[in-house]
Structure 1
Amino acid sequence: MHQSALPSLTAQAERLVDLSLVADADSLRARAAQLELTAPAGSLLVLHERVLPASALAPRLHLPAPGRAGVAGETREGFVVVDMTDVDEFSPTAQAELPDADVYAVLAPERGDEMRNWSPEEALPALVAASRTPLTLVEGIHWALQAPGVVEANACFMTIGSRKIKPNGTPDARTPALWISSGTGRDGRERKGAPKVGWCWWGNRHTWLGFASSAGRAGA
């Protein structure tokens, strides 16, 4: 299941301000304070993807550089895989309906470890049957920004609340995911240990990827 502890929504707002991800810091603080009045503890603060797309968020992810414990503060920066230049075209699905609000809360996010080695095709109906809604890619990146421990070796997650719809109206066979680069192939050795936005096939299983979901969303 894995539920990484999240700070208060107002503290999360300050984190986004510190990262220079918002144009109007005072407005974000006010909306976070408003949400905090009703959203349960452990909720995640999210800026709607029309305000802050995945391509802008991914490079703000950081994880400690592997094997460099003696170098204080050295990190690896997040990135989007080279064959996902269309990352911002992955939009929320019907099972992940977003509030019509620039700032909202995701309630009780879970990584879905119990579904590791399931395919997205298998996981989606199980989440719906459990009254859970799959996280979108942007929500997943926000979660990793606020609680970096949710992206860890051999236990990461897919965000099947985001799909790309092709011109003919059918879904693209890819589904986005967050995991840690091994520094091989086109990622490059310098990215070993970096948080990575990539994709998996809709029908494939992966032993290290769960399915991030939430109990719902609440708009400010």
Structure 2
Amino acid sequence: MTPFDPVAEFDRQVRTLTGLGYPKLSGLTDDRFTALLEPLRATVPAATAGADRDPEAGRVPFVLVVTRELAPIEETMPRTALRGGGRPGFVDRSFEPGALERFVATPETNLPDQWAYLLIGVERGEEFCGVVPRDAMATIAERGRSLLTIEEGIALLTQFPELLVKNRCFSLGGSRSGDRRVPALWISQKAPKLGWCWEGNPHTWLGMASAAGRRTGDAAA
């Protein structure tokens, strides 16, 4: 097995975003987009030291996240797909007009004030399949881990499409809109779908994703 090279993985993730048209989506040239992400490169080795890398089991050391201020959710979700390609991802119609704008990061996520950052120590959270989302979120908080936002979930799916599989889908409790809805990513019509479920309703096929933390170009968040 080839040893994990975090810097090579960082470069792969940058190439993936560039290949999907993120620079144009962000209103930047390829060079300016790459330059925006470059300060994160130096933080990767330390941020991922000792991290578990097993995408098939739902664990990855880090994911490069571009925020909605740079790349809108409505544009990034269609750039996702299941492993092997196929139909593009989509936002479910259950999000009424203007709803996505109201699903913002909770104060507990303590998001960096940056356009791009690293999400580290990511877990898909299938251990929470069948658990009431409200209870899963409480358990994750007790462990000192952080719930994923919608943008982070899309970033995870973009870079690691093999994580979204039947009966191993995941909620994104780090984005809320002030009501009982919890956004989630699952499979519908043979494509990734961004939808939501009630915080009190468990689903056997829906876990709760989390991360160890977030890191910018010069500090942990």
TM-score tier, shorter chain, comes to 0.7 to 0.9
1:167 is aligned to none
2:186 is the counterpart of 1:179: yes
- 1:157 Cα deviation after fit: 0.1
For residues 56-101 of structure 1, the C-alpha deviation after alignment (integer angstroms, 9 at most, x for no partner) is: 211001126xxxxxxxx76111000112142232111122121111
Supply the AA of the counterpart residue of 2:108: Q
- 1:54 Cα deviation after fit: 1.9
Residue pair 2:40, 2:216 contacting (<8 A) in 1 also: no
Q: How does 1:147-166 map to 2 (within 5 A)?
A: 147-164=160-177
1:83 is aligned to 94
For residues 108-164 of structure 1, the C-alpha deviation after alignment (integer angstroms, 9 at most, x for no partner) is: 100111111112211111001111100111100100000001110111000000001
Larger proportion of helix: 2
Supply the AA of the counterpart residue of 1:128: A
Q: Tell me, which stretches of 5 or more residues in structure 1 are unaligned?
A: 1-5, 65-72, 165-170, 182-191
Root mean square deviation, CA, Å: 1.8
2:111 is the counterpart of 1:118: no
Q: Find runs of 4+ consecutive structure 1 residues off by over 3 angstroms.
A: none
Q: Report the number of matched residues.
A: 191
1:35 is aligned to 43
Q: Which moved more, 1:128-137 or 1:54-63?
A: 54-63
Residue pair 1:156, 1:178 contacting (<8 A) in 2 also: yes
Residue pair 2:37, 2:116 contacting (<8 A) in 1 also: no
Supply the AA of the counterpart residue of 1:96: T
Residue pair 1:135, 1:159 contacting (<8 A) in 2 also: yes
Q: Tell me, which stretches of 5 or more residues in structure 2 are unaligned?
A: 1-5, 52-60
1:207 is aligned to 204
2:140 is the counterpart of 1:132: no
- 1:39 Cα deviation after fit: 2.1
Q: Give the Cα–Cα distance (whole angstroms) in 2 for the partners of residues 211 and 105 of structure 1.
A: 19
Supply the AA of the counterpart residue of 1:118: V
Q: Which moved more, 1:121-130 or 1:37-46?
A: 37-46
1:46 is aligned to 65
- 1:28 Cα deviation after fit: 3.5
1:13 is aligned to 14
- 1:106 Cα deviation after fit: 0.6
For residues 8-55 of structure 1, the C-alpha deviation after alignment (integer angstroms, 9 at most, x for no partner) is: 122211111111112233313423423325321621110123222322
> What is the TM-score when the length of structure 2 is the normalising length?
0.81
